[in-house]
Every structure is written in structure tokens, then in C-alpha cells.
Amino acid sequence: MKDTPRRFDHVETWVFDLDNTLYPHHLNLWQQVDERIRSYVSNYLSISPEEAFKLQKDYYRRYGTTMRGLIAEHGMSPDDYLDYVHKIDHSPLTPNPALGDALEKLPGRKLIFTNGTRRHAENVMKRLEIDHRFEDVFDIVAGELEPKPSQLSYDRFLARHGVDAAKAAMFEDLARNLEVPHALGMTTVLVVPEGERVVLRETWELEGQDAPHIDHLTENLVDFLTRITERRSA
């Protein structure tokens, strides 16, 4: 049996993953990045797209990002990789004023913590028109290329922004990326695909909803944030 879920009454810092968290899974925006990663791997290692796909997914699961696997096993320099894989079409994203309002009403700091790049995060936030709701972005470069779910990545994030984990909440779309935050004392929220919407994800990426380190589960971030604010002001 899971312990009683942590609440939000004490939260002073709200930490959000970016992709598939601040916008719906079913937009499949990350699929574009996924395809560009595969293309990069294929070209960089001179292997077929099929071989690149297998290697990409293996590194992603074992290292947290494909990039980290390429660095560890092939000595790749990350700059060209990061620039290439995040050159995508952000037009599927449209302004989300309801999300902006819900974020604005949360009392305290709001930060983004992503395995992507700052430029990608800024492009997403601008399309959603929520860029002015966040204090800062902690990206893969700020993490010195150490991705979630590595403990070191979270330690660097907390230190850089002076965040007290015991007074913070984290929102993520991957259950495994919430295990360390929960152990550090954060209230954790897993954002899952909406209803029966078709999403292009690996099976393991959608697992872990019942894990003991998941305090809360939602398929509608705006409604969830609104309920938090209502309960805190009641």
C-alpha cells in the first residue's frame, strides 16, 4: 500500500518538466525530436536508420538521453547534436491562456527543469504564451550534460536555484524521473496522456503510474493546478 500522498500546502517552488508535461502528449511534438535524433545517430555512426533506432532507444533507456550514450560510448561532442535535434516545427503548439492563468495563481516560484535545451524550452513557452510565468529554465547544458533521472542532475538543479526540495513540487511525464525528487522530499505529480488519445511513446515510458514515488496523477494539468490553488485558498 502506498503512503499517504504528499500535499501542496507547504510548496514554495513549482518545478515543471517541459515536453509532454506543459503541453499535451497527443500533440506528439517530441516525435519530431525523436526522428531527428535517429537521423543524427544514423549519420554520425554511419549505420542504417533501423540500427540507429535500436541504438537510440537503448541509449535513451540506459543513459537518460541518447546524447549521453553517444558521449559515453563514442566520445561525441554535444554541441552539433543539440543544435540539430531541436530544430523542429513548433507550430502544433498554440497559446494556452488557461495554463498561463493557472501558473500565475500558484503561490511561489515557477521553474522549468528539462533534458532539452534552453532554446527549445523558450520556443515552446513562447508558442504557449507562458514564458513570462517562469523564473528560469534549467536545461541539459546547465546540468553539465547530466540528464534526469541521474541524481547528479537534480543536485545541480537544486543547488543552482537554491531550491529546498522539502518545499517543492515536481511535475513530470516520466515516472522514473520522479523517483529521485520524491526521495529528496518533493511532492511528485505524474502527467499522463489524456483519455484514449493516441500517443507515440515506448511502453516503458508509460509505466510506473502506481509506483510509490508518485504522489499524484493527472491527465489535465490546468484542472489539476486550478484545484491546488482553490484548496490552498479555501
* pLDDT digits 0-9 by tens, 1-15: 467 899 999 999 999
Give the model's pLDDT for residue 193.
82
52-72 as b/e, with b when 16 or more CB fall inside 10 Å? bbebbbebbeebbbbbbbbbe
- What's the CA gap between 150 and 135, in Å, rounded? 23
Cell of 17: 518538466
Give the model's pLDDT for residue 197.
55
Give the model's pLDDT for residue 6.
93
Give the model's pLDDT for residue 16.
98
Residue with grid cell 535517429, as numbered in its chain: 38
Give the model's pLDDT for residue 194.
80
Question: Residue 81: what residue type?
Answer: Y
Give the model's pLDDT for residue 69.
93
Q: Which whole-number Å values give the CA distances from 38 to 2, 8, 90, 139, in the listed order?
A: 38, 39, 19, 21
CB contact set of 105 (below 8 Å; sequence gap of 6+): 225, 226, 229
Give the model's pLDDT for residue 165.
98
**Cβ contact 60:66 at 8 Å:** yes
Helix (H) or strand (E) holding 224: helix 221-233
- What's the CA gap between 188 and 65, in Å, rounded? 21
Question: Residue 83: what residue type?
Answer: D
CB contact set of 79 (below 8 Å; sequence gap of 6+): none
Give the model's pLDDT for residue 4.
85
pTM of this structure: 0.90
Give the model's pLDDT for residue 195.
63
C-alpha closest to that of 208 among 188, 223, 227, 194: 188
**For the chain, which ranges sit under pLDDT 70?**
1-2, 195-206, 234
Kindly list the structural domains of the chain, giving each domain's residue range(s) and its CATH number in brackets, ordered by start.
13-24+94-233 (3.40.50.1000), 30-85 (1.10.150.450)
**Cβ contact 23:88 at 8 Å:** no
